[in-house]
Every structure is written in C-alpha cells, then in structure tokens.
Chains A and B, each alone.
Chain A
C-alpha cells in the first residue's frame, strides 16, 4: 500500500503544515519508505495477541477530587502571543 502525493498533502493540511512542491514529493517518498518497514512487521503472526494500547504495566491510576491552587492569570497568560485583559487573543473564529 503506497500513499499518494494527495494523501500526504491531506495529512499535512490536517497538521497545519505547509510544504513546498519539492518537500511534498520528498516526504511522500520518505513516508512510503517508512510504510515499507511496517509491511515487514505485518508478516509477524499477531492473531493471538490483543491490540496493545499501552506498554507500561499500569492500570487505574487515579487522583482524588480535591482542588489545588491554579496559576495566577498573569502566569497563565505569560506565553500568550497577545491578550486582552485576562483573555487570550486569537484570530477571529466564527462558525
């Protein structure tokens, strides 16, 4: 199974990545090389093995429902590119 240039462009769009035509061609080739490795992995018989979602042998890690102090707004907003009062300012979004 090979990925087309269009599929790579679609994934790039979803990830908000902007590629030049040259990059798109190169990444399409590289992505397909990576997929080839998976084809090798596919040869292993995994029919008796449940799908793995986590590799750490831990389950049910929970915390108590007890409030902790939050950040002061100035700290929370310290990395905001722009702010208005104590709100993050972003390009207008309307749906």
Chain B
C-alpha cells in the first residue's frame, strides 16, 4: 500500500459575543424559552428592514485583521438562497464576493515549530434557527423550530487546505478558538454550539502535488468528534483508492453513535445557492485610518502573552503555554500578579491545585470558582508565616468549594502556624528522643529519615508547625548544619 498524505482545511463558525442579533435588537442570550427572542426582522416577516449591528461588524473586522487579511472595501452582504425550515426568509444573509477579510494567514504552532496556515476568507453571516426532532414514534411526522438563534451573528473563518495531520488539525481548532476568545469576538463555548467546525478532507499519495477530491464533513460538535471523523474519513478514502475506486466530492455527515460518516441525502440542486447582493443592506466602506486604529487596538494575542509570561514572570515554557492556553486562566494570573502576588507562586497554585480540582470536579477552566483577590490573599497569608503550606492547601480547597475569603477560613478552622523557634525546638527534642534509630541514621548521613522526623513534628504540632523552620532545627540539632 502506498503511503498517503492527509489534507485538511476548516470552516470555523463562531457566534459573535454581541448582546443583540446581527440585524435586529433581539437578545442573543442562550438558554431562553423557545421563540422568546424573535421579532419581525429575524422571523423574516414581509416589509421589514435589517440594520447591521455595529459591534458584530467590529468583531468581524478585528478577527480579519488579527488573521492578517486584506479588508474588502466596499464589503457587501449577499443572499444565499435555499429552503430549509430553520431559515425563516428562505435565504441566509451572508457574504461571498466581497467578504470582510480575504487572503490572510495564521501562524500555527505544532510540536514547537510554526506553520503558516492560509486563511482564504473571513465573512459574516446570520445563524439559522434550531430544529428539534421529537423522539416519540407518534411524532415521526414533524419537526419543531425555535427561532431564538436565527439571526445571531456568525463569523465564518475559512482556512486553506494546509493541515497535514490529525495533530495539526487539533492544534488549529484549539488555536483558532483561543484566538477568538482572546479577541473577545466569541465566547466560543463548544457545549453551547458557539463554535462549530466543518472539515474538508482529502488524501493523496505522498510525493504527489495535486489535491484529491475533497469531502466536506458536517455535524462535528466537539474536538474529539472532529478527530474521530478525520481519522475515519482518511481511512475510508485510502481504502477507496487502494481498491481502485474514486472519492466523490460530496458533503458527508458524521454519525457519532456509529462512528462513521455518511453521504447526505439532499439533492445536488440544493447547493445551487444563487447568491445576489442583499438590497436591504448598504455596502460597508472602511477608511485606512479606521482600520489602522482597530489594528492598533488589538489586544495581546496568545503567542505574545505566552512570551511575556516566560520573560516577565520567569515561568517555564510549559507552564506559560498551559496558563495562556485559556484566556480566563491567563487573565486570572495577570490579575493576581497585579494584586501583588508572586507570579511563580500564582503559577504553582494554578498549575497544581486549581487545575487538579477543576479536573476532579469536571469543570471547565472558565468556571474557576475563586477570585484573583482570594488567591493573592492566600499567598500573602503563607508569605507572612500565618499558615503553613499544608494548611494553605486545605484553605484553597475550601475556597474552591465555598467561595469564602481565605482569612475567614483560617479563622473558622482555627489555623495558625507555629514559627516560634523555641516552641518548635522543644517538639523537635521530644521527637528525636522518641525516635533514636531514625535520628541516628540521619546523623550518620542518610537523608531519608528527615521527612519522617519532620512529619512527626508536624503531627505533634497538630499540623501547625512551620515546616522549613522544623527542617532547619532538625538539621542543626543532628548534623550541626
């Protein structure tokens, strides 16, 4: 069997983080009761006039600038015509011949090397409503439509066919989601469908240059699903070629339960969209000054922030990558440091206890239930010698569960730290006397019993001893160090 190369491009759809829909004042808040966020405009009633949401436009242009796109000016909206019950007007307002962003690029880091991915276009469109298919057998004859989502601003970022492995595809999805979040353009929460991926997949024998027939995969609603679908589709296409068959250029749906892709049943005709300029929306024209101003105001993006965490905070590369991987976590670190906490200590808490507890409770990083203020205060309590490291961990866990301030927890639990040298020296004397074997071994140069002896002192002090002081006392007493 010849070696095949995987070729993947993505269409990323992201709901923009605006308060209102793209062409009307209906709220975009998710989770509202069915059809309570609708009006004559987003229901497509006759005689209405859509007006573009300025915030949606600005988000779209900022993302296009961050992806180094050329900006079409004038830029126009067009009608994409097709019939589907989730589309009240029987056309979707979208962009085709003059989208906001064209011919950009995106630097993707995979395994330490940077690969430049081309961005073909970035355009703005309106989301469709949501279809509900009742499960009961008696309901087999109908579907239900909720138009709350119809008209939510949707940004589509189309990449070139530049990704060559599953690892690159995964890195691209993660990085694009992160970019949108850093720009504040989209909350991009997968579980709410705020970011959705369509993958264009083809394969070709290694060493050849022509692109094979590509297959578009829809219905991918998690990173895991995309990975599985790419792996499945790659194997399916290679198998077809190996058996002398041909891959049809088509759209296939991912069936998660079966773990396979299936050809869509819809007819060829439905893809003849007959785009034409939307007469109800006037063109957008951008001055160089406006674009330069938006570009200058772009926030610090993930790569720059990671470099800053390494250079200004002295964090290891790995830690900086994890911390800046989620904007909310990176914001948390910056906020805690701004409150006076040591960056490395903040990093240790996040990399250790915070991520461990989030993971244990199955929470997303943006659900971190403590505030930067609380962590900074906790770190100060440790730095000031008020509590020891062990107690701090317990306080952190309780902060995580109850949201209480660290001082309150310390007070309620009666935590205190014994740092007084004479008080601790007395306990050390007693522990050494009670454990002559361990003490003798340590004196003789074996380091192992130290941990045991410190532990005994901690126990005697009911966990309140200042561990570094105890360490120093034992070393001094038994080794004269």
| Interface residue ranges, A against B (CB under 8 Å) | 10, 13-14, 16, 53-54, 56, 58-68, 70-71, 73, 76-77, 79, 82, 84-95
A59 near B142 with CB under 8 A, answer no
Q: Whole-angstrom distance from the CB of B118 to the nearest CB of chain A?
A: 26
B26 near A68 with CB under 8 A, answer yes
Q: Is B33 in the interface zone, CB < 8 Å from A?
A: yes
B38 near A71 with CB under 8 A, answer yes
- Cα distance, A54 to B285, chains bound together (Å): 13
Bitwise, B369-384 to A at CB < 8 A (1) or not (0) is 0000000000000000
Interface majority SS (helix, strand, loop, mixed), chain A: loop
B277 near A53 with CB under 8 A, answer yes
- Cα distance, A53 to B43, chains bound together (Å): 25
Indicate the member of A53, A56, A79 with the most B CB atoms within 10 Å: A53
Query: Given A59-B74, A76-B43, do A66 and B25 touch, yes or no (CB 8 Å)?
Result: yes
Q: Which residue of B lies closest to A90 (CB)?
A: B85
B279 near A10 with CB under 8 A, answer no
B144 near A89 with CB under 8 A, answer yes
A87 near B144 with CB under 8 A, answer yes
For the complex of A and B, 4 pairs with smallest distance between CB atoms: A68-B25, A65-B55, A62-B54, A87-B144
B19 near A67 with CB under 8 A, answer yes
Q: Whole-angstrom distance from the CB of A48 to the nearest CB of chain B?
A: 18
Query: Given A60-B285, A68-B26, A92-B143, do A14 and B81 touch, yes or no (CB 8 Å)?
Result: yes
B143 near A93 with CB under 8 A, answer yes
Inside 8 A of B24's CB, which chain A residues have their CB?
68
B140 near A92 with CB under 8 A, answer yes
Q: Is B52 in the interface zone, CB < 8 Å from A?
A: yes
Q: Which residue of B lies closest to A91 (CB)?
A: B142
Q: Whole-angstrom distance from the CB of A2 to the nearest CB of chain B?
A: 19
Interface majority SS (helix, strand, loop, mixed), chain B: loop
Out of A56, A65, A87, name the residue touching B20 (CB < 8 Å).
A65
Q: Is B172 in the interface zone, CB < 8 Å from A?
A: no
B143 near A66 with CB under 8 A, answer no
Report the interface size for chain B: residues with CB under 8 A from the other chain.
55
Q: Is B18 in the interface zone, CB < 8 Å from A?
A: yes
Query: Given A61-B51, A67-B25, A76-B43, do A87 and B285 touch, yes or no (CB 8 Å)?
Result: no
B146 near A70 with CB under 8 A, answer no
Q: Whole-angstrom distance from the CB of B179 to the nearest CB of chain A?
A: 21
Q: Whole-angstrom distance from the CB of A85 to the nearest CB of chain B?
A: 7
Q: Whole-angstrom distance from the CB of A88 to the nearest CB of chain B?
A: 4
Q: Is B84 in the interface zone, CB < 8 Å from A?
A: yes
Inside 8 A of A62's CB, which chain B residues have their CB?
51-54, 57
Q: Is B425 in the interface zone, CB < 8 Å from A?
A: no
Which of the 9-residue segments B261-269, B387-395, B400-408 touches chain A? B261-269
Inside 8 A of B282's CB, which chain A residues have their CB?
54, 56, 58-61
Inside 8 A of A59's CB, which chain B residues have their CB?
74, 282-285
Inside 8 A of A73's CB, which chain B residues have their CB?
33-36, 38
19 example contacts (A-B, Cβ-Cβ < 8 A) are as follows A53-B277, A53-B283, A54-B279, A54-B282, A61-B52, A61-B281, A62-B54, A63-B25, A64-B54, A65-B54, A67-B26, A68-B26, A73-B34, A76-B38, A85-B34, A87-B145, A88-B146, A89-B142, A92-B141
Q: Whole-angstrom distance from the CB of A70 to the nearest CB of chain B?
A: 5
Indicate the member of B35, B55, B141, B264 with the most A CB atoms within 10 Å: B35
Q: Which residue of A lies closest to B84 (CB)?
A: A93
Out of A13, A53, A58, A92, name the residue touching B133 (CB < 8 Å).
A92
Q: Is B147 in the interface zone, CB < 8 Å from A?
A: yes
B54 near A88 with CB under 8 A, answer no
A94 near B133 with CB under 8 A, answer yes
A70 near B85 with CB under 8 A, answer no
A87 near B274 with CB under 8 A, answer no
B33 near A90 with CB under 8 A, answer no
- Cα distance, A63 to B49, chains bound together (Å): 12
Bitwise, B4-29 to A at CB < 8 A (1) or not (0) is 00000000000000111000111100
